[in-house]
A and B are shown apart, each in its own frame.
Chain A
C-alpha cells in the first residue's frame, strides 16, 4: 500500500526519483481512499514551476475538491494526460497509471524533507 521506494509528504503526495534528477509525483493510497471516487484532476502546465509544499493543482472527487501540493520544487516536464479521460486511474493505481506529473528537480536535497514509507504510515495511525 505504501511502496518503500517512494518518498511521502504530510499532505499525502508521493515522489519517486528515477533517472537523473527527475521525480514522478502522485497522491497516496490513503489520499485516494479518503477522497473517494476521483472525477477530475487539474494538471499543471508542462514547463511551469512548482515549489515544494505549494499548491500545483486540484483534485476533485465525488466528495470534495482538494488542493494538490507538490512534494518537490522544480520544473514540470510531463503530465499524465490519461487522467483527463480516466481520472479513476488515481483510485485504481495511485502509484502507477495514476501518476500526476513529472518534475525536474531544482534541489534533490529537498527529498530529505519527505518521509519514508514507515514514517508516513506512522502518521496515518
Chain B
C-alpha cells in the first residue's frame, strides 16, 4: 500500500469527530437550559455548559495535537495541503457571510427602519399613529428608537480609542506579513519577534476594546439595551472581538509551534491559515470602524 499513498492519502480513524459532536451538544444543551432557567434557580444548565466548554477546549487540543503529529510525521502530501487550504478559505468565506448578516442588519436599520419610524417615505402612517413625536436620527439622538429604550446614551467617539485600535490592527497585519516573509526566508528569530509582536498587538487591541466597553457601560450609558443602536454596536463589535480573541490564541499557538520548529520554508500551512484569519478580522474591523464608529 505504501507507494499508492504517494498519490492519495486517507487519514486513519479518529474518535475526535465523535467527541466533538458530543461536547458541542453538551455546550449548547447546557446553554439553552441555563437561558430558560427560572430566575433565582440556575438549575444544572450552568454546570452542563461549563463541562461542555471545557470539553470543547479539550477536544480542540486533542484533535489538533493528533493532526500536528501526523503533519510532523510527514503524512500529509501536497494534495492534502491543498485540501486544507481550500477548507480554510471557504471557512473564512462563511465567516464573511456571518458578519454580512449583521452588517446587513445595520444598513437596513439605518437606511430603512429608523427613517421609516420617523415618518420618511414608506413609514408615514406608522409614524403618525404610533410615534408622531419621533424624529428619526442615528446615534445618541434617536438610535434607541421612538421609545428611547435603555434611556439617554452617548456614542463612543471614533477618533479616540477606535482610531488607536484601527492603527493597532493595521500594524499587526504588517507584522504578521513580515513574520511570513521571514518564515519563507528561514529566519526563525525574526519570525518569533514579529509573530510575538502580532500577538501582543492583538492582546492590546482586546484590552482597549474591553476598556471601551466598560466606559460605554459606566459613563456613556451605552449598553446592549440601548435600543437598536446598542444592539448593532455590541453584537458587531462583540462578535469581532470574539474573533480577535480566537485569532490571538491561534497566533500564540503558532508562535509556540514556530518555537518548537514545526514549520519550514515549504510546509507551513498552519501559519498561513492563521495569517489569513488575522487579515480577515482586520478587514472586518475596517468595516466596523467605517460604518459603526465614523459614519
* A and B co-occur in one complex: no
A interface residue numbers (CB < 8 A to B): none
B interface residue numbers (CB < 8 A to A): none
